């Protein structure tokens, strides 16, 4: 009987340790994804040039044609970074749609934004392929939500479930 209990302990201890390790790995992955999201959100909200462009896009202001091409390139490049993070599951599609989707769609659809862009910075440039694919993915996601009747009733409470827990663990 003693031999049997010892064998069970020999098997159970490594299994429990493995489960604890897996849980910690998952927790750290979630925390890292939250940190990526917070970094990108801050980059978007704290960049004065981005905020100026967003305001012009929302108001459909013709003044967007006068924005420096370098600032426009940085703006579109930011969305490509977001697309890469979404494609590698560092940020979920739901959060990307909620936080950045509107502005990406507005940017692609606003002809005045692209008016003075030249060479490889033009809208049709192969260098913006990822950006165009990103916007199409966001549009598709939006259509799926509309088809399910969820667009006007999107429940973002999932953010409140994990976000405060993760933020409270991040040392500032």
pLDDT digits (tens, 9 = 90+) for 102-157: 999 999 999 999 998 888 888 889 999 999 999 999 999 888 887 766 555 545 44
Residues, the chain: 172
* Confidence at residue 157, expressed as pLDDT on a 0 to 100 scale: 47
CA dist 32 and 163 (Å) reads: 12
Q: How many CB atoms lie within 10 A of CB 95?
A: 22
pTM: 0.71
CA dist 142 and 148 (Å) reads: 10
Q: Look at residue 112 and give its three-state secondary structure.
A: helix
């Amino acid at each position: 009987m003693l031999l049997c209990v010892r064998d069970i302990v020999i098997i159970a201890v490594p299994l429990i340790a493995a489960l604890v390790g897996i849980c910690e790995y998952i927790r750290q992955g979630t925390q890292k994804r939250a940190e990526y999201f917070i970094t990108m959100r801050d980059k978007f909200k704290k960049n004065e040039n981005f905020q100026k462009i967003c305001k012009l896009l929302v108001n459909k202001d013709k003044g967007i044609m006068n924005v420096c091409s370098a600032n426009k390139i940085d703006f579109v490049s930011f969305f490509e970074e977001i697309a890469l993070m979404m494609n590698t599951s560092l940020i979920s599609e739901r959060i990307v749609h909620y936080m950045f989707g509107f502005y990406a769609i507005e940017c692609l659809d606003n002809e005045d934004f692209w008016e003075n862009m030249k060479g490889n910075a033009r809208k049709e440039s192969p260098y913006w392929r990822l950006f165009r694919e990103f916007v199409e993915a966001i549009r598709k996601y939006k259509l799926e939500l509309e088809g399910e009747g969820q667009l006007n009733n999107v429940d973002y409470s999932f953010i409140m479930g994990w976000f405060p827990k993760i933020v409270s663990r991040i040392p500032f």
